[in-house]
Amino acid sequence: MLEDNTLKVGGNKFKYWLGKKIQKWGNRLVDKGKYRVVTNPSCKLINPFTLLINFTVDGNEKYQVILQGDYKKHYKESEDYTPDISEREMLMLINQKQEAWFKKS
């Protein structure tokens, strides 16, 4: 879900509600039912075929995703290797590639 330049990923309202009702196993269900909030996306072209997107999850965890594709047009048009991609498009790419997220150390 995309709202106010933030992306809410995952979550399950039923598991969240049930986890609050059942205290013994509830903490695991509550954790699975919460949304993960993605903010502050920024991107940079490494080369004409690799796009690096950095972003923050839940306000304090920094992640990145590396996408491979044909970015020659963006690479040639940019002066500092920062492509002209809107924040909404970056958030959609992040959402589509959740399995490719890397946590930055």
Instruction: State if pTM tops 0.75.
Output: no
pLDDT of residue 25: 59
* Rounded CA separation 91/53 (Å): 9
pLDDT of residue 73: 87
pLDDT of residue 23: 64
Q: 60 burial class (0-12, 13-18, 19+ CB within 10 angstroms)?
A: exposed
- What is the full per-residue pLDDT of the chain (105 aa) written as tens digits? 667 777 777 777 777 767 666 765 566 666 666 788 999 999 999 999 999 999 999 889 999 999 999 988 888 888 888 888 899 999 999 999 989 999 987
